[in-house]
Amino acid sequence: MGDRPNPTETGPRNPILVALDVPTGEDAARLARELSPHVGGFKVGLELLTGPGPAVIGVIGRLEKPVFADAKLHDIPNTVRAAARHLGEAGARWVTAHAAGGRSMLEAAVEGLREGAGSRAAGILAITVLTSLDQDSLAATGVAATPGKLAAVRARLAGEAGCEGVITSVRELGVIVDVAPRLLRVTPGIRPVGVDTHDQVRAATPVEAMERGAHYLVIGRAITGAPEPGRAALDILSGLDLA
Does residue 203 carry a pLDDT above 70?
no
- pTM of this prediction? 0.89
Write the burial class of residue 100 (CB in 10 Å: 0-12 exposed, 13-18 middle, 19+ buried).
middle
As a whole number, mean pLDDT of residues 76-95 equals 98
**Residue 145 banded pLDDT, cuts 50, 70, 90:** confident
CA atoms within 13 A on the CB side of 104: 5
Close Cβ partners of 164 (under 8 Å, ≥ 6 residues apart)? 94, 123, 124, 125, 183, 184
Phi, psi of 189 (to 5 degrees): 70, 30
d(CA 161, CA 86): 20
Residues 146-159 pLDDT 10s:
888 999 999 999 99
pLDDT band at 189 (very low <50, low <70, confident <90, very high): confident
Catalytic-role residue among 43, 65, 72, 149 = 72
Phi first, then psi: what are they for 239, rounded to 5°?
-85, -5
Backbone angles phi, psi at 100, to 5 degrees: -60, -15
* pLDDT tens, residue by residue, 1-32: 344 444 333 333 799 999 999 999 999 999 99
Whether residue 149 lies in the annotated active site:
no
pLDDT attached to residue 144: 77
The tens digit of pLDDT for each residue in 215-239 reads: 999 999 999 999 999 999 999 998 8
